[in-house]
Structure formats: C-alpha cells, structure tokens
Homo-oligomer: A and B are copies of this chain.
Amino acid sequence: MTTLKPVYLQKVKQQNMADILQKIWEHESISRVELVELTGLTSGTITNLTQELLQTGLIRESETSSGSVGRKRVMLKLRTDRYTIIGLDIGRTSFEVVLADLAGRMIKSVEGNTVGIRDPEQVLDLVAPHLESLKTDAADKKSPVIGLGVSIPGPMDKKTGKLLSPPNFPGWEGYPIQSALERRFGLNVFIEDDARTSALAERWYGLGRKAQDLLFVTMGMGIGGGVVAKGELVVGSNGLYGQVGHITLLPGGEICACGNEGCWETVGSIPGILRRWSEGNTIDGFFQAVREGDPAAVQCMQETLYYLECALTTLFNTYDPEVIVLGGKLYPYLTMHLSEIRSRVKARMYAFVRDRLHIESATFGASQNAVGAVALVFGALLNEPLQTLAGPKT
C-alpha cells in the first residue's frame, strides 16, 4: 500500500471549497445552480463539495425555493451555530474576551482592566480564566472553538511572532505572543493589530461584506489604519502598510514618536487634540468645552475636523477604496459631524468617483476590536476551511 499525498489536487479542492463558502456567505443564501453559474464549476463538482461542507457542519440546507415550473432550488446557508470563535482584544489598559458564533454574533463577553500591569504574562494570567470558561461554555454546547483571534494595539513581526514596539504599550515589545497563547490555550491563534482587525470586522461582518476594497481608520490614543484590497488584508513588506496616522499633514510640524514630523497623529489623536488645546485635561473635558462654546475649544475642534478632511482625501487618493470606515475611541465624539465630513471630503475628490466612495461609521462600536479578532479567524476559515477546522498543527 502506497500512501500518496497529492497536495496539488487537494489545493484545488480547498480553493474551490473556499470559493463556494465565500459565495454562500456573500449571498447569505444560494442554491447549487447559482453556485454552478458563479463558480464555473460543473454541477457534479458542486454536489460533491457542498456535500462535504454539509458533513463538516459548515453549511446547511434551508427549505426555501424559487421558480415557477420544475424542481425547486434547495438554498444553502452558512451554519453559524455549529462552531464558535473566541476573540481577544488586548488594549493598552483593558481587555475583552468574547465567544462568538460564525456570524460574529457575541454569545458571551467579558471585559477586564489592566491599568498598571506591564508584564504580558500577568495580563494573560488575568485573561486566562475567562477564556477557559468560554471554552468550556462552547464545549458544553457542542460547538467547538475553531480558533482564537487576537487584536493588539500595534504591529507584530510575522517572521518571529514577536510584537514590535507599539507606542504607549510598554512591556510587550519583543513578547512572543503567538507561541505563548498557542501553548497556553491549545488553540489555533491568529493575531493582528487593532486597526487591521477592525477593518476585518467590517470586511466580513459589516460594511465591507460585499466591498472588496476598504479602509478602516481608527482614531484614539493613536491613529491607525487597516486596508483590505481585493478582499484581502494588506500588511506590507515590514508589516507597516497602512500606518495612516503617520502621513505628514503639517510640514514643519511637531516631531512624532515615529520619527516623522507633522504626522496627522500628532494633531488628530486624543493626545494630539489635548496638546493643542490645553495639556493635562481629558478628552471628555475638551468636548464639554466645545459644547459650552469655549472659543479656544471650538477653534481646536474645527481644526481637528479640517485635519480629518485633509487626511481622508489623501487616503482616498492613495488607496482608492470603496468604503472608508471611521472608528476608534475618539470617533464617538465626532459621529455627529459625519455628514459634514462626508460632504467636505467628497468636494475634494475627482468628480467622477464622488458617488462611488462611501464614508461610514464603524459598525461594532466599543467592541470593534473584539469582533475584529473574531473576524480574523472567520476569514481564515473562509479562505482555508478544512485546514482551519483541523486545528493547530500538533
């Protein structure tokens, strides 16, 4: 007995299966005939592959049908309750762990505080019992956890699995987070920075569900960006693609922690705004003052919006997305200005694309990062279904 392992055919099969799964997700509900048309595969192949997906429990048949004469189409849907995903958002001063179904809907969520804790191991010690409890919950419901998605405040070196130097996130630099988590929890671990997970939350569960090119801009203690092009996350040659907070907005301006001068982040982030207004105050205080009509605050607010307008125009011209999504801790304060931002940016774009760009608010509010962490795993599942279900390689 020879044991052949023809990977090439399995790759084709996986690819076709992934294609089918993604089309099912994109259309919510779709019949086999439509899959034949959309994928270009033959009906026999569709039968085989959907059968296998049915067996894994990733999809189910839904009674629906259509047409006037002839046999009715059996609609196929993604089965969102058979497996679960755990999302972990590690922030600078807090964390959130969520158990979610495949549609990104939260089943359970736990938040915690990490103020003052600088040692990554200690943070994980805090997170561990909650995470284990979610794992148990999932096991009780017979909906196995297929992976752990993690959102962190700064980029990670893909080669070493170690964290790079995110500003305002001391203690974590060089920490081998991927292997640590895999060892601790025995799960398939996927990690990305918060801007990117946020972008993925939109790509799979939010505004970008059908959009192939989107940019997520997160404004908070820093300003970050996540770019999805042709449906795929873009990370760049050093993992620094989309550092949108570090575009030079004010030549000759303040020196930024990144080394550049006049970065948007130096004026547009929460610390940036406070530095421009009155050091030592809080962002709540600032927006309170704006509401009360304090002239200096109002002036500073107008500048902030103007910087945002300039930055978004620049980013449209560099990334050409279908959607720009705005989020982050600062954004809730700006939501009321969305339509103004929208019209001001569009006024500065090429006329013929003005109505093709959408500028929107993030879909998942304070849980954007956690949902994004879940989306990170979901994306892996939809790109490599069988492999992802198989779990961590030994």
Interface residues of A, Cβ cutoff 8 Å to B: 7-9, 11-12, 16, 40-41, 164-165, 211-213, 229, 234-244, 246-251, 258-262, 306-307, 310-311, 313-315, 317-322, 347-353, 356
The interface residues of chain B lying within 8 Å CB-to-CB of A240 are 317, 320, 350, 353
B260 and A313: CB pair below 8 A? yes
**Whole-angstrom distance between the Cβ of A129 and the nearest chain B Cβ:** 35
A318 and B244: CB pair below 8 A? yes
Assembled-state Cα–Cα distance A229/B233 (Å): 12
Pick the residue among B251, B315, B320, B322 that contacts A310 (CB under 8 A): B251
The interface residues of chain B lying within 8 Å CB-to-CB of A249 are 248, 251
Given A248-B249, A310-B251, A314-B248, the answer on whether A236 and B213 have CB atoms closer than 8 Å is yes
Given contacts A236-B319, A247-B247, list 13 more A-B pairs with CB under 8 A: A164-B352, A165-B352, A229-B229, A229-B236, A236-B320, A244-B317, A246-B313, A247-B318, A250-B251, A259-B351, A261-B348, A262-B310, A318-B319
**Whole-angstrom distance between the Cβ of A70 and the nearest chain B Cβ:** 27
Given A212-B237, A234-B229, A259-B351, the answer on whether A247 and B320 have CB atoms closer than 8 Å is no
**Whole-angstrom distance between the Cβ of A215 and the nearest chain B Cβ:** 10
A243 and B317: CB pair below 8 A? yes
A259 and B318: CB pair below 8 A? no
**Whole-angstrom distance between the Cβ of A207 and the nearest chain B Cβ:** 14
Assembled-state Cα–Cα distance A212/B234 (Å): 13
Chain B minimum-CB-distance residue to A261 = B348
The interface residues of chain B lying within 8 Å CB-to-CB of A237 are 211-213, 320-322, 356
Pick the residue among B247, B261, B317 that contacts A258 (CB under 8 A): B317
A348 and B310: CB pair below 8 A? no
The interface residues of chain B lying within 8 Å CB-to-CB of A239 are 320
Pick the residue among B235, B259, B311, B318 that contacts A243 (CB under 8 A): B318
Assembled-state Cα–Cα distance A54/B273 (Å): 64
Chain B minimum-CB-distance residue to A244 = B318
A259 and B348: CB pair below 8 A? yes
Chain B minimum-CB-distance residue to A212 = B237
Chain B minimum-CB-distance residue to A311 = B248
**Whole-angstrom distance between the Cβ of A241 and the nearest chain B Cβ:** 4
Given A248-B314, A251-B306, A314-B248, the answer on whether A258 and B319 have CB atoms closer than 8 Å is no
8 A-B pairs with CB atoms under 8 Å apart are A8-B16, A236-B321, A241-B320, A242-B318, A251-B306, A251-B310, A260-B317, A318-B319
In this complex, the member of A239, A249, A349 whose beta carbon has the largest number of chain B beta carbons within 10 angstroms is: A249
In this complex, the member of A250, A318, A321, A352 whose beta carbon has the largest number of chain B beta carbons within 10 angstroms is: A318
**Whole-angstrom distance between the Cβ of A250 and the nearest chain B Cβ:** 7
A350 and B258: CB pair below 8 A? yes
